[in-house]
Every structure is written in C-alpha cells, then in structure tokens.
Amino acid sequence: MTAANGAGRPCRFCGTVRGPRVPGKAGPICLECVRTGLRVVGDGADRETTGGDVLAAVTSPLAAVCEFCGRRERRTFLGLRRPLLRVDCAARDAVICADCLDHAGDVLNVALRH
C-alpha cells in the first residue's frame, strides 16, 4: 500500500479531495479522518469528521466488514476469533478497522516526512 495517491477521489469518510490520503478498495481515507478515527478507537467516543459526518466505534461481529481489509474479526495465534474494532461513518457507508487505521497512520507518517 502506498500513500498520497487516489488523487481526485473523495475521502470515503469526509468527502474531501485534498491532502494526503491512503487508498482503499472503495476509495481513500484522508489524513484528518485517520487522525479522527484513531481517536475514536482510543476512547470509543463518537467524533465528527471535517465533513460534518459522525465517526462511531463498531464492535459487533455482525456489523459491516472493514472495507480496507475485508475483515470483521481477528484470528489469534491459536485460531481463536476476536472482535475487531471498526470505525464507521454511517452517513457515507464507510468502514475502517483499527488495524487499517494504524497502518494508514504509519504510511502517512512516512509519506509526510519526505
């Protein structure tokens, strides 16, 4: 996965087309939404994107899969299944998991340093 492209495609979570972003299958996520999403993951509280839509934590195994990696649960080393925390933007039908947010944050950190 590489950063800073998906040029011209709106962020799946806020709709902005500007700034650094990390591409996903359904569309990219922007830097601001990665930051906001990580805060939601951190304390579970809902937050608004710069687009004014709400990001909320989702833990139900029945809720939508992460659109970046296609998972809704983690397989542990022993083959046990653990719920995978996701952040969704119901207004835009967009979902990303905690792991993909972490990864996107790392990618953007590296991209912004260059």
The interface region with Zn ion, picked from 33-41, 52-60, 72-80, 106-114 by CB under 5 A, is 33-41
CB 11 within 8 A of CB 28: yes
Say whether residue 26 binds Zn ion (CB under 5 A).
Answer: no
Q: Which of 3, 14, 41, 107 binds Zn ion (CB under 5 A)?
A: 14
% helix / strand / coil in the chain, to the nearest 5?
A: 25, 20, 55
CB closer to Zn ion, 44 vs 102: 102
Q: How far is the CB of 25 from Zn ion (least distance, A)?
A: 10
Beta-strand ranges (E) seen in 1-114 are: 21-22, 29-30, 47-48, 54-58, 73-75, 81-83, 86-89, 94-97
The interface region with Zn ion, picked from 1-9, 40-48, 59-67, 105-113 by CB under 5 A, is 59-67
Say whether residue 58 binds Zn ion (CB under 5 A).
Answer: no
Q: Which of 3, 6, 11, 88 binds Zn ion (CB under 5 A)?
A: 11
Say whether residue 68 binds Zn ion (CB under 5 A).
Answer: yes
Q: Which DSSP string corresponds to 36-68?
A: HHHHHHHH---EE-TTSPEEEEE--TTSPPPTT
